[in-house]
A and B are shown apart, each in its own frame.
Chain A
Amino acid sequence: MITKASMSRRVFLKGSAALVVGIGLSGSLGKAQGGEALSRSLNPGDLEAWLAVLPDNTVTVYSGKVELGTGVDTALRQIVAEELYLPFSAITLVQGDTALTPNQGYTAGSQTIQVGGSQLRKAAATARQALLQLAAKKLGVSLDQLVTKGGYISPQNSASPRVSYGALLGGQQFHYAVDPNVKLKDPSQYTLVGTSVPRVDIPAKASGKFTYVQDVRVPGMLHGRVIRPPTTGATTINATLEGVDESSVAQIPGGVKVVRKGNFLGVVAETEWAAIQAAQQLKVRWSVEKTLPQMGTLYNYLQGLKTSDQTELHTGDVEAALAASPQSLHATYQWPYQIHDSIGPSCAVADVRGDQVVCWSPTQGVYPLRGALAQLLGVPERNVRVIYVEGSGCYGHNGADDVTADAALLSQAVGRPVRVQWMRWDEHGWAPKGPAMVMKLRGAIDARGNVAAWDNAVWTPTHSTRPSGEARNLLAGNLIAQQVPTGGPVGGDRNAPVYYRFANNRLVLHWIPIASSPLRPSALRSLGGVQNTFANESFMDELAALAKADPLQFRLNHLDDPRAVAVLQASAERFGWKSGPRKASSVSDIAIGQGIAFARYEGRNAYVAAAAEVEVELKSGAIRVRRIVVAHDCGLVINPDGLRNQIEGNVVQALGRTLKEEVRFDSQGVQSTDWSSYPIITFPEVPTVEVVLIDRPHEPAVGAGEATTVVIPGAIGNAVFDATGVRLRTVPFTPQQFLAQASP
């Protein structure tokens, strides 16, 4: 049932789509500064927060979830068009703007389709019901006599004229509440959802017409750059700005100004080149405390920290089962700090005039960032408008929020709009890191060759120090206030519980306090899911080998969910899995092996299995992945090609994280601040990737942005073991790592 929301009087939409849609996205950036009066409710319970039907019969969708390069701009439009019986081209999407879109938190955790898509689906279905009610009244026929097609409603079996959505609304907003129980279109009727609609953004991106945040320019804008302390990337800054010699940049033309606030230091100039030169040439004195552990001792150091311990689960009696079992094993797995591989460093433009603030930012959460900025700048939150503009690929909490704060502080200091793009070393060095983790596992096999006991202990910091309305969670805020970021324990437990059914099963989490984490930890694709699944799926393989079992069958023996079984079998079948326990390969220079891994993401979302074929050059220790087959079930598939693109990207990025990526640091800070000291995967290293999609139209659409990442390291490590008998328990699997394990 559709109910009218009890809302105050509202004004009419002012006619054209351009007025609303253009702001902050193309061309009309200047308009945003004025802050046009918005009388539309942004309350997620109100339909008008999500959708507007314009007189030309097009629909504007307001989404707090944003396009990070994953294709959701297209997929969300598909969902709305489907539910409203409209052609795809009738939908435009306004993303992430505190003045225009509802608060949907962060675009993160593979939840845009899963949560945001579901919200929009209900909003669109509510809108259709509202339109039907209006049509019934206008046409004088009962609801069940109406049919909808292409944005028009007409009476069935009647000569009465059809009426358009736009005419029914008459330029007004929807004054309805979103019905959480609204009847949704039956998936068997879908014509758009489930088809590979080409992405709306690619033509502009391929022709140089797309406006990334790096391309945003506003009148009167200056260019800024920041200068950081030498304790690069450390959670606790451990440095004090002792002096700045402004005369050292006096010779640089371009009106260079130095801005200092505590340990926050930046420069602005009329040209970008002048700002870059000034930031590099400015003479600065820091006093520094070197407090980071030696990199070679990191994993012992983490286990020696005072932690907050929590037994997350304990079924049966693990100790008794371990003691009673004829065969047992223990193993320790280690994962290094990793960075975001965003090719373009973070960038933002801010315009702070008095207590009025407008920022164009590639943030994952315009609202949580708004609160943090307000605190940092000392202005009321309502005076801050944050407008999302897409940046370079975003795989989690990179420098996007920090750079917005940098731009805002510089703009506040000089009273003009300032654009800051981080330099490569800023992004590599200072963007939050995907945390290093240690996973210690113990397990046992019973007489029948099944898992008798499974015992897992995980050392992890939180994987989220996102802005969350806290100035100290922005790097500039940390520098000024000398306060480390804050945040509850998040993500380190992701996929730590296995999806296998074990009678005796324990998981203990050792949460490392943020302040004790050597490098600043936060969200990187899958949070702890990739570290934990690497450990779990490697250890599962170790137990299979102990039981002299086929690794695939051993997994199947411990699963009771048909969807889990289906992805494992589908990947194995397409891969051509050779059953049986491992046989020692014949001695040659190159060893070839197969490996498999499975996970259900977060224990409740997408099912994914990957099978890998690798070759190992035994003399050099070089590992080459030849082929990876992924079977993937995320319920209803919105856009199959978009989904494949995501899965392929997960595979390739995770491969680089497994084989190559590791942040290098010394006692002062991060040392790997470019692509040569922190290499990522390159074209010649990318294997063949095959994807098997299992579409389940009547199951909810769950996220696909991260799930595949988590199974890749285990599949590769297991294949290396199959090829060589060498078990790799520390990422990255470099040649040195292999050789060290091969000849202990």
Chain B
Amino acid sequence: MAQLTLKVNGKAEVLEVEATSMLLYALRDNLGLHGPRFGCGLSQCGACTVNVGGVAVRSCVTPVSAGVGKEILTLEGLSSNGKLHPLQEAFIAEQAAQCGYCLNGMIMQAKPFLEHKPNPSEEEIRQELSNNLCGCGTHLRIVRAVQRAAKAMAGGVS
């Protein structure tokens, strides 16, 4: 077991973890977070996506040590003072979920994307999410939610 410090959702957390373990298990099992989800452990589905240093990464294949010294953001960290992030609001407004298991990955993939590309086309959104899998077939609603969030984040009406 190794002791290391991760900065998660703005808070420094001291953890006892196996040095070879992946970030996902530290977030879920040590910190009890529900946002990042185990889907494949192979970086194929995107359910585990978190933002590290402002970049969407697959936490199931990211060594926990790679998170040290970086800002780690999970789905839980998107809302502040009870106010949901425009992406979260948009997913609710569009009712863009069935089981919702993939939702974490969709939102955490879309967040840095929209920050760098404020006004994406539908085609660009689909490409950005092409490595995030959804089994229920909620894709069209998810695309609409990201479009709605893009407008809100760019200053339009949510």
A675 x B98 contact (CB < 8 A)? no
B98 x A392 contact (CB < 8 A)? no
Known contacts A206-B88, A689-B140; is-contact A344 B18 (Cβ 8 Å) = no
Kindly provide the distance from the CB of B130 to the nearest chain A CB, expressed in whole angstroms. Answer: 5
Chain B proximity mask over A178-207: 1 for CB below 8 Å, otherwise 0: 000000000000000000001101110111
Known contacts A652-B137, A684-B127, A686-B140; is-contact A645 B18 (Cβ 8 Å) = no
Interface positions of B from 131 to 158, Cβ below 8 Å from A:
131-143
Tell me the complex Cα distance, A682–B132, Å: 8
B39 x A206 contact (CB < 8 A)? no
Chain B proximity mask over A649-683: 1 for CB below 8 Å, otherwise 0: 11111011000000000000000001110001111
A210 x B136 contact (CB < 8 A)? no
Known contacts A674-B44, A683-B126; is-contact A210 B100 (Cβ 8 Å) = yes
Known contacts A344-B39, A645-B141; is-contact A393 B136 (Cβ 8 Å) = yes
Residues in chain B near residue A531, CB distance under 8 A: none
Tell me the complex Cα distance, A683–B47, Å: 15
Interface positions of B from 1 to 50, Cβ below 8 Å from A:
1, 17-18, 20-22, 25, 28-29, 32-35, 37-42, 44-45, 47
A675 x B103 contact (CB < 8 A)? no
Contact of B75 among A208, A214, A345 (CB under 8 A): A208
B143 x A343 contact (CB < 8 A)? no
Interface positions of A from 268 to 316, Cβ below 8 Å from B:
271-274, 276-277
Kindly provide the distance from the CB of A269 to the nearest chain B CB, expressed in whole angstroms. Answer: 10
B137 x A675 contact (CB < 8 A)? no
B18 x A273 contact (CB < 8 A)? yes
Identify the closest chain B residue to A424 (Cβ): B40
A649 x B98 contact (CB < 8 A)? yes
B91 within 8 A of A: yes
A273 x B133 contact (CB < 8 A)? no
Kindly provide the distance from the CB of B98 to the nearest chain A CB, expressed in whole angstroms. Answer: 4
Chain B proximity mask over A213-228: 1 for CB below 8 Å, otherwise 0: 0110100000100000
Tell me the complex Cα distance, A421–B102, Å: 17
Identify the closest chain A residue to B93 (Cβ): A198
Known contacts A274-B18, A345-B38, A674-B44; is-contact A645 B133 (Cβ 8 Å) = no
How many A-B residue pairs have C-beta atoms within 8 angstroms? Tell me: 185
Stretch at the interface among B51-59, B76-84, B111-119: B76-84
Interface of chain A: mostly helix, strand, loop or mixed: loop
Residues in chain A near residue B125, CB distance under 8 A: 683
Most buried by B among A206, A676, A683: A206
Residues in chain B near residue A437, CB distance under 8 A: none
A675 x B45 contact (CB < 8 A)? yes
Kindly provide the distance from the CB of A584 to the nearest chain B CB, expressed in whole angstroms. Answer: 32
Kindly provide the distance from the CB of A1 to the nearest chain B CB, expressed in whole angstroms. Answer: 41
Contact of A682 among B40, B123, B130 (CB under 8 A): B130
Residues in chain B near residue A633, CB distance under 8 A: none
Residues in chain B near residue A273, CB distance under 8 A: 17-18, 20-22, 25
Residues in chain B near residue A211, CB distance under 8 A: 34
Chain A proximity mask over B56-91: 1 for CB below 8 Å, otherwise 0: 000000000000000000111011000010001001
A344 x B140 contact (CB < 8 A)? no
Interface positions of A from 355 to 397, Cβ below 8 Å from B:
390-395
Chain B proximity mask over A630-648: 1 for CB below 8 Å, otherwise 0: 0000000000011001101
Tell me the complex Cα distance, A208–B36, Å: 8
Known contacts A393-B99, A675-B133; is-contact A424 B140 (Cβ 8 Å) = no
Contact of A69 among B38, B84, B100, B130 (CB under 8 A): B100
Known contacts A274-B18, A421-B38; is-contact A684 B137 (Cβ 8 Å) = no
A619 within 8 A of B: no
Kindly provide the distance from the CB of B113 to the nearest chain A CB, expressed in whole angstroms. Answer: 13
Tell me the complex Cα distance, A724–B78, Å: 49
Tell me the complex Cα distance, A650–B98, Å: 11
Residues in chain B near residue A394, CB distance under 8 A: 99
Residues in chain B near residue A686, CB distance under 8 A: 126, 137, 139-140
A683 x B18 contact (CB < 8 A)? no
Given contacts A207-B76, A343-B39, A344-B37, 19 further A-B pairs with CB under 8 A are A198-B92, A201-B97, A202-B92, A202-B96, A202-B97, A202-B100, A208-B34, A209-B34, A210-B34, A217-B32, A341-B135, A343-B45, A393-B135, A648-B137, A648-B138, A649-B98, A652-B137, A675-B40, A680-B135
Residues of B within 8 A of A (CB): 1, 17-18, 20-22, 25, 28-29, 32-35, 37-42, 44-45, 47, 74-76, 78-79, 84, 88, 91-92, 95-104, 107, 123, 125-127, 129-143
Enumerate 12 A-B pairs (CB-CB under 8 Å) in ascending A order: A69-B97, A69-B98, A205-B100, A207-B88, A212-B101, A342-B99, A343-B101, A345-B39, A392-B99, A645-B141, A652-B137, A683-B132
